[in-house]
Amino acid sequence: MPSNKSVSDAPIVQFTNCRILRDHQLQREDLWVREGKILNPEKLFFDEKGSADVQLDCKDSIIAPGFIDVQINGGFGVDFSLATDDFKSGIDLVSQKILSHGVTSFCPTLVTSPPSVYHQVLPQISVRNGGAHGAGILGAHLEGPFISKEKKGAHPEHCLRTFEAGAFQDLLATYGSLDCVQIVTLAPEMRRSSEVIQELTKRGICVSLGHSVANLSQAEEAVQHGATFITHLFNAMLPFHHRDPGIVGLLTSDKIPAGRRVFYGMISDGIHTNPAALRIAHRAHPKGLVLVTDAIAGMGLAPGRHTLGQQVVEIDGLNTYIAGTKTLSGSVATMDTCVRHFQEATGCSVEMALEAASLHPAQLLGIEHKKGTLNYDSDADFLMLNDNLYVQATYIAGEEVWRQDASSM
């Protein structure tokens, strides 16, 4: 057998008998992995004269990139918006548990909170790679407090803020630090929001529009200043109106700067968005659709009372409400459930459903060169799924980090 030692001593693993999601279609190919990266087999054969050290039969599974959740507030009793002494162990628990949902990277999300909470929590969130310990952390998503009172949803009104003179300094003072921040959700109709959007974008932070009463021209102006995302489309924004479609109108706007794509999050849990609305969005702008769970601490727990930041929420089946009201407050759906529901509700291809949870969020964050695809040299974060899109195994950097127990299949 030809040696592959000339380039690296690391073992080469060949995944056989599988359908790989690559270039927007499922292809009957083998997947080659070495040192946590996807290998180009042609280079291996012809340049290195190498071959596989280990072969794994995937038994006709689908192999797809790992899911990326850019809006998750917690789960399994852990609330990312609560400042606790053991916050680190909480985030570790969630990152471990979501491996079974196919999530290999995520953005822990904080809802509107007092400055003291941001000052305590944000220094405890650090960007890190995934592994057997859990999904990778891409940086925090700060949803609020610079949002609209009219569309606050489950966010506590007493913590909402507006931009005063020196708006960006005000934001910095509120959060304390932007070191580990990946996304900030704000309402673009607020005075001085344009300068804040420009400053955040300059620092490589993704600006998302949400919890807002913005009209379409205000939303378009925000995009022209650098905003690239819409937080949970249709939820916590003005409903579509034919004379002024509001933020929803960004999906078909002709005022988006050339070469820029606007992405939008969808909570595809069958509760937050009617399947018809999901279909409308998907058909209007399929390449911008990003599946998010918007999961709260109650995900993975029994019905009852749980927290979301400063609020108490009640879980009743898949419905979650601010206690004593009918205000929806995040979801308890898992990412793999959202993918299956999206595919069923829209009738889209399996490939499109999988890319909405992997490629699209990676493109949103500008990390598609290493995450969200199975292109050569990208990170070997991937899933094995059956034809019904149930996750059978999760891999990070080419290592198996979770597998479905055969007895429960």
Residue 229 domain boundaries: 66-365
How many distinct structural domains can be found in the chain?
A: 2
Q: 89 and 160: one domain?
A: yes
Measured CA to CA, the distance from residue 8 to residue 383 in angstroms comes to: 25
Same domain, 47 and 152: no
Task: Give domain status of residue 8, yes or no.
Answer: no
Which segments are annotated as binding site for substrate? Answer: 154, 235-236, 243, 272, 328-330
pLDDT surpassing 70 at residue 49: yes
Q: Are residues 238 and 343 in the same domain?
A: yes
User: Are both 345 and 393 inside the same structural domain?
Assistant: no
43 and 178 in one domain?
A: no
Residues 132 and 261 both lie in one domain: yes
Q: Are residues 25 and 131 in the same domain?
A: no
Contacts of 182 (CB under 8 A, 6+ apart): 70, 107, 138, 139, 140, 141, 205, 206, 365
Judge whether 250 and 204 are in contact, CB under 8 Å: no
Compute the distance between CA of residue 215 and CA of residue 4 in angstroms, rounded to an integer.
60
The catalytic position among 269, 294, 336, 381 is: 294
Beta-strand relationship, 31-34 and 12-22: antiparallel
Which pLDDT band holds residue 2 (cuts at 50, 70, 90)? Answer: very low
Would you give the DSSP letter of residue 87? H
- Kindly state the average pLDDT of the residues 64-74: 98
Paired tokens of 286: 């399929």
CB-based contact 101:367 (threshold 8 Å): no
With a cut of 50, say whether residue 3 has pLDDT above it. Answer: no
**Residues facing residue 62 across a β-bridge:** 19, 385
Residues 178 and 295 both lie in one domain: yes
- Could you give the angle at the alpha carbon of 365 between the alpha carbons of 29 and 228, nearest 5°? 125
Q: How far is CA 227 from CA 20, 197, 281, in A?
A: 33, 7, 19
Do 276 and 171 lie in one domain? The reply is yes
| 294 catalytically annotated | yes
Verify that 149 and 258 share a domain, yes or no: yes
Same domain for 240 and 219?
Answer: yes
pTM equals: 0.96
Q: Each residue of 127-151: pLDDT tens digit? A: 999 999 999 999 999 999 999 999 9
Per residue in 177-226, pLDDT (tens digit) is: 999 999 999 999 999 999 999 999 999 999 999 999 999 999 999 999 99
How many Å apart are CA 262 and CA 54, to the nearest integer?
42
Indicate the annotated binding residues for Zn(2+). Answer: 143, 211, 232
Do 102 and 250 reside in the same domain of the chain? yes
